[in-house]
Structure 1
Amino acid sequence: MKLCVLFPGIGYHCEKPLLYYSAKLARSKGYDVIPLKFSGFDNTTKGNEEKMSRAADHALALASEQLSVIDFSQYEKVVFIGKSIGTIACLAYRETSGINASCILLTPLEATFESLSHRCTAFHGTSDPWADTEAIRKLCRKHLVPLNEYNGANHSLETGDTFTDIQTVLDVTEKIDALL
Structure 2
Amino acid sequence: MKGLVLLFPGIRYTVDMPLLYYPGWYYRQQGYEVVPVSYGSQFDQVEFHNQDITAEIEAAKQYCFPQLQSVDYASYETVIFVSKSLGTVVAGWAQQALHIACQQIYLTPIHQTLPYLDRGCMVIAGNEDKVLDPAILRAYCQAHAIEYHGFPGGHRIEVKQDISTNLKTIDAIIALLKK
The two structures share one fold, judged by TM-score above 0.5: yes
Q: Within 5 A, what are the aligned runs for 1:17-36?
A: 17-36=18-37
1:155 maps to what in 2? 155
Residues 1:46 and 2:49 aligned together: yes
Q: How many residues align?
A: 175
CA deviations 1:78-133 (Å, max 9, x no partner) are 00000001011101000010000010000111210122523110011011121111
Preserved CA contact (<8 Å) 2:4 2:32 = yes
Preserved CA contact (<8 Å) 1:118 1:143 = yes
2:102 maps to what in 1? 101
- Give, in whole Å, the separation in 1 of the partners of 2:148 and 2:116: 17
Preserved CA contact (<8 Å) 1:6 1:34 = yes
- Give, in whole Å, the separation in 1 of the partners of 2:79 and 2:119: 14
Preserved CA contact (<8 Å) 2:159 2:166 = yes
Instruction: Describe the shift of the 1:144–1:53 C-alpha distance in structure 2 as closer, same or farther (beyond 3 A).
Output: farther
Moved more, 21-30 or 113-122: 113-122
Q: Within 5 A, what are the aligned runs for 1:21-170?
A: 21-39=22-40, 40-41=42-43, 43-49=46-52, 52-151=53-152, 153-160=153-160, 161-170=162-171
Aligned residue for 1:47, secondary structure, equals coil
- Give, in whole Å, the separation in 1 of the partners of 2:174 and 2:150: 14
Preserved CA contact (<8 Å) 1:25 1:177 = no
- Stretches of structure 1 lacking an aligned partner (at least 5 in a row): none
1:175 maps to what in 2? 176
CA deviations 1:151-179 (Å, max 9, x no partner) are 3x01111011110011101111111122x
Aligned residue for 2:16, secondary structure, equals coil
Please report how far the alpha carbon of residue 38 of structure 1 lies from its aligned counterpart in structure 2 after TM superposition. Answer: 2.7
CA deviations 1:66-86 (Å, max 9, x no partner) are 222211110121000000010
- Give, in whole Å, the separation in 2 of the partners of 1:114 and 1:55: 18
Aligned residue for 1:48, secondary structure, equals coil
The letter for the 2-side match of 1:177 is K
The letter for the 1-side match of 2:49 is K
The letter for the 1-side match of 2:60 is A
| TM-score, with structure 2 as normaliser | 0.91
